[in-house]
Chain A
């Protein structure tokens, strides 16, 4: 079935260092949508980035990701981590315009902790 695999567990970084959170996926969808959601402590998940265009970089709030269908990847990157980036990051997949509709399939989540 369809699935999303992320860097598991906790990623700890020092403020100012680059961020890279891995996300790969498996799907039968011919045109998958890929998403990154961010969830801060005691808050609800919030959409950070999305893409369905192959090899096109998408950016928001300093984060960027590029969907590579050849490698089924959608890694999240940021050039310089900030303390406020500490949160749980989910990669997710959907078949938005296909028969499976707008259901989101989430990865396990990666907890990013940024230290001073």
Chain B
């Protein structure tokens, strides 16, 4: 059984639209993260949360907004989508902010 669930697995969106990427972890972890993997670029840190509080934000654009409705949820809302937002978005979690990550299986987003 997957310990971190990301939904949807694949997503096609129209330029200018808004989408929400879902992430739920069932590991009992207290820290959660979002990373982006674009073509020909390294995995890029976006956000980190600990106990549902934002710890670090390395995303320049306010179009990316994490949402944590529950301790084990960290969704990612993306507004005004652009083709450059096309990437695989990975959610990850760790027991605390001093522990190893577990990555989810990712959401592949294509913006046309």
Chain A residues near B (Cβ < 8 Å):
4, 43-47, 50, 90, 92, 96-97, 100-109
Contact = CB atoms under 8 A, between A and B. Distances in A.
B106 interface: yes
A27 B42 CA distance: 17
Contact of A46 (B42, B43, B103, B106): B103
A102 B94 contact: yes
A97 B98 contact: yes
Contact of A103 (B56, B103, B104): B56
A7 to B, nearest CB: 13
Contact of A44 (B45, B55, B106): B106
Given A44-B104, A47-B101, A108 B56 contact: no
A45 B100 CA distance: 12
Interface of B is mostly: loop
A25 B71 CA distance: 34
B97 interface: yes
Contacts of A45: 43, 90, 103
29 contacts: A4-B42, A43-B105, A44-B90, A44-B103, A44-B105, A45-B90, A45-B103, A47-B100, A97-B98, A100-B56, A101-B48, A101-B97, A102-B31, A102-B33, A102-B48, A102-B98, A102-B99, A102-B101, A103-B33, A103-B48, A103-B56, A103-B58, A104-B45, A104-B101, A105-B45, A106-B44, A107-B42, A108-B40, A109-B42
B70 interface: no
B95 to A, nearest CB: 10
A105 B44 CA distance: 7
Pairs of residues from A and B, 7 with the lowest C-beta to C-beta distance, nearest first: A44-B103, A106-B42, A106-B43, A102-B97, A103-B45, A108-B42, A45-B103
